[in-house]
Every structure is written in structure tokens, then in C-alpha cells.
Amino acid sequence: MDINFNKNEDVNKLQVSELNKQLLKVYLGGGKARLDKQRAKGKLTARERIDYLLDSDKDTIEIAAFAGQDMYIEHGGCPSGGVVVKIGYISGRQCVVVANDASVKAGAWFPITAKKNLRAQEISIENNLPIVYLVDSAGVYLPMQDEIFPDKEHFGRIFRNNAIMSSKGITQISAVMGSCVAGGAYLPIMSDEAIMVDKTSSIFLAGSYLVKAAIGETIDNETLGGATTHNAISGVADYKAKDDKDALDSIKNIFSKIGDYTKAGFNRINPSNPTCNPNEIYGILPKLRHEPYDMKEIIKRLVDNSEMEEYKKDFGKTIICAYARIDGWAVGIVANQRKMVKNAKGEMQFGGVIYSDSADKATRFIANCNQKKIPLVFLQDVTGFMVGSKSEHTGIIKDGAKMVNAVSNSVVPKFTVIIGNSYGAGNYAMCGKAYDPRLIFAWPSANLAVMSGASAAKVLLQIETASLKKKGEVITKEKEKELFDKIKNRYDKQISPYYAAARIWTDAIIKPLDTRKWISMGIEAANHAPITKAFNMGALQV
């Protein structure tokens, strides 16, 4: 190994170490004291509930762990969006689990909480996956009600999704393990079955204080809407559990009896590990985002037996298209090549840039994968489409549009891994969040933005200095450098993978060595949803 490999390895492993450190903070929710207070009431924490519920001998992945990070600081913050979402297995059946974290503002709903819950439901709907809600929430966070209550993608959309999911036959089970008030009371009751924990759970449209104020009735919360009331009197709930574990055991029993599902039929054989050492990814991936590297060496460390069958290997070389297997699943890989390459005319092409020929190749490959019912995996490290007169004259806009069209109309499931840069229209063409990947996740080395920090800072600096000069200010070289650094630091914060994950532009930041697990579980989830429409070849004009 050369010295550069070792330097890359040091930087990338430090980034993974920082990721682990950030995750440990996330796992504390609203803080140790609040978690201990919850345990003192005889209740499990949100993460303890999920850990007890999910099969311990099978893999899990967590969705949007960093939701809300560094947001709502003036309100005390909202770690992980105040809700924990995982994809795992209950009694051997793959599912989505959503658990309110009562240690964060009593499980109150912030805007990001609603967005995260909707993302969980979207995953369930797209993949026909059963979903479990572990409810323990004080309802909408009132100081921000205008950002969570009335709009299309706000709180009410969750109950609309409950109804849609029921119509699709998607199993929904709720366990009320704490408060469940106001509009939130509809969620468990719109589920197929609802479980309540004796003495610690309650469901009502208005609590005892509001009832007293509204109609003058004096009543305690337990009598108003406790587990006994809703099991023996109203019939709202279906089961009464003596404690959290008893409620979770009921869910396990229900899941153990669910029938098999109709499969989409994606091809899978016995899995094989890569023959190239996956740990070498850390030394291959450069420490700086603008440095070139061979993406094929990354792919070899992600796919079974380190084998891939390249499509149009000698054409459109700035995008790699290849058939391979990941954990046994057949996949079509579309990846940005980051090293300089020669085209058929002997001209050098920049790595990470999409040229007309590479866009055309990717379009045709995506169409082929749709025809063969092969899931697509996009490995993003893209700075955008090639600009300049030569590219414009060869029709880069048309070829780019065809690629975007192919990604948009694709009917096979898509999975996006942001390895490095994800800039501008390159993000779109390589199946960014707007193009409905089943899962989209980033490595700690990822950057997401319209353009790089340095490029954006130069543009913004020109605008700011021009404005200051109009006001009569003298801009010295020192002042210009100070402005540049200030602008770049601000912009660099926004292109961080943590900034994107906080806003659920990605589903997670993961360790590179977990990539195979995420893609495999994602395809297994997608296999629950048979493809019901054909890919529209005509729209591509190929």
C-alpha cells in the first residue's frame, strides 16, 4: 500500500469514528435523566421497545437517525425527530417499526417528526411492508403548530396514509404505551389492531383538564381513556397488556400468524462475500473530494465475488454500468467514474462529470434493467453534466434529459448511495431524493449541494463584493479573503451529509461497510411489492 492509501484510510476511518460518536448522542434521545425517569415509571424507552420487539438474530437498519439534528435549538432541540424508525423483522417477517421517543418533549410532534413519520409510511406503502406503531406522544408541539398542522405533507397526512394502507391490505398494528391524545388518537384506531398497556397508556381526543374547561365534566384520565375503559367499555382497543413487554409479546404473536406475501420475483441466489477486501474502501476513497480514484475498485468491494459484467465498457466511460450481485440479489449498477478517462476520439474526459455519451449509455442500461426486472443501484460521486460549447453542440441537454426521463419512469426499485459529491443536475440524473429511490443513504464522505463549497463561495463572493463596492466600500485582498472564508464556511456546513440527514434528504449516514446490508434489506423489502406497470420505452426517444 502506498502512503496516499494510508492517508486516505486515516481520514475516512476518522469520519466513521465521528459518525459513531454522533450516533451515540442520538441514542440518548432527550438525555439520560429523562430516559431514567421513563424507566422509573415501569416503561421501556423507545429504543428498548424496538430492540425487544425485533428479532435479535436478524439485521436491522435505522431510518433518519439524524433527523432534526441542530434544528429547533430555540425550542430545546428535537433529537432524531423525537421518533425512532427501524426496518427489521418480527417473528421472521420484515416490517417497519415506528416508536415515539417520550424523552424528547414528551414525544411531541415537531415538523421534522411528521416528515419522518411520513417517510416511514412511504417506505411501508412502496414496499407493501407491515408497519408497527409504538405510540407514546403528547401530540402536536403547539408553539410550532402552524408548521405541522394544516398543509398537505403535515400531521393529517399520516391518518390519510393509514386509510390508504388499509385499502392496500398493508398490516398496521399499534401499541399505545403512553399518551395518545387529540388528533393523534386516530392513528392507533385506524390501524388494524390496537393494544393498550394497563395504567400507563391513554387514548382520548381531549384530556381531563380540557374536558373540564370545555364541558365542565370532572373526570380523571384513567377513567376517561385508560386501557380498561377502551377495552371493556368503548371497545376502541383490542387487547390490554399488563406492561410494555406484554404488549410487545402480543405483537410478536400477531406477526407469527400473518400469511406469506406475493413476491415481485427479483432474482437471488446464495450470497457470496466480495473477494477483494471491503476494508480497502477506506484507502481507495480519497481524503479530498476533488481527487480522482477508480470507482471500479469500490464496486469490486461491494459486490459478490467482486464480479461485475460491464455494459458498453468502452463507451461513455465517465459512467460505469454493470450487472452484478449484492448479497445474492441481481442488481444493475450505475456509478460515476471519478478518474480521468479517454473517449473514443482519444480526448480526455473529467471524472465525475456526465458527458453526452455516458448519459446515453446510462439511459439504455436503465431501460434494459427495467425490461429484465433487475433493481437499480446508483453510486453517486458526481459534479454535474459537462458544460461548454462542445457539449452544448453535441446535445448534452437532450441526452441529460433522456437519462432523467429513464430514471423518472423506471418501474424497478432504485437505491441510491451517495459516496462523494452529489452536485447540481448530476444529483437528479443519478437518482437523487426527488426521483423516489426506495432508500437513499450517504457515506460520511458525502457532499450534497448545487455546487462545491469553493465554487459556490467564489460566485457568492463576486455578488457580495459588487454590492459592497456599490456602497463605496474599498475591498482589499485581506477583506476579500475574509469574506470568502466566511461564505465558504457557511456553505460547507450546508453541504455536509449531517445537514442533509437532519432534514431527511437522505435516509441515513452509514458506514461504507454496511452498504451491502442496506441494499440487500432494501431489495428484500421491495420484493414485497410486485411491479404492476410497464416501463415506457417510447418516452425516452432512444
Please, which residues have CB within 8 angstroms of residue 352's CB and are 6 or more apart in sequence?
Answer: 292, 318, 336, 337, 338, 381, 382, 383, 420, 421
Q: What is the pLDDT of residue 458?
A: 77
The overall longest dimension of the chain from CA atoms, in Å, is 85
Cα separation, 65 vs 116, in Å, equals 10
Q: What is the pLDDT of residue 17?
A: 98
Q: What angle do CA 36, 42, 45 make, to 5 degrees?
A: 50
Residues counted in the chain: 542
Q: What is the pLDDT of residue 511?
A: 98
In 10 A of CB 372, how many CB atoms? 12
Q: What is the pLDDT of residue 536?
A: 82
Does an H or E element contain 500, and which? helix 497-502
Q: What is the 3-state secondary structure (H, E, C) of 344-412?
A: CCCCEECCCEECHHHHHHHHHHHHHHHHHCCCEEEEEEECEECCCHHHHHCCHHHHHHHHHHHHHHCCC
Q: What is the pLDDT of residue 480?
A: 77
Q: What is the pTM of this model?
A: 0.93
pLDDT in tens, the chain (542 residues): 589 999 999 999 999 999 999 999 999 999 999 999 999 999 999 999 999 999 999 999 999 999 999 999 999 999 999 999 999 999 999 999 999 999 999 999 999 999 999 999 999 999 999 999 999 998 888 889 888 888 888 888 999 999 999 999 999 999 999 988 877 788 888 999 999 999 999 998 888 888 888 899 899 888 898 999 999 999 999 999 999 999 999 999 999 999 999 999 999 999 999 999 999 999 999 999 889 999 999 999 999 999 999 999 999 999 999 999 999 999 999 999 999 898 888 888 888 999 999 999 999 999 999 999 999 999 999 998 887 888 786 778 888 999 999 999 999 999 999 999 999 899 999 999 999 999 999 999 999 988 776 776 777 778 878 787 788 887 788 877 888 888 888 878 899 999 999 999 999 999 999 999 999 999 999 999 999 988 986 655 54
In 32-171 the beta strands, taken as DSSP E runs, fall at 61-63, 83-90, 93-100, 131-137
Cα separation, 173 vs 194, in Å, equals 6
> Within a 13 Å sphere around the CA of 274, how many CA atoms are in the beta-carbon half?
21
For the record, the C-alpha cell of 286 comes out as: 480519497
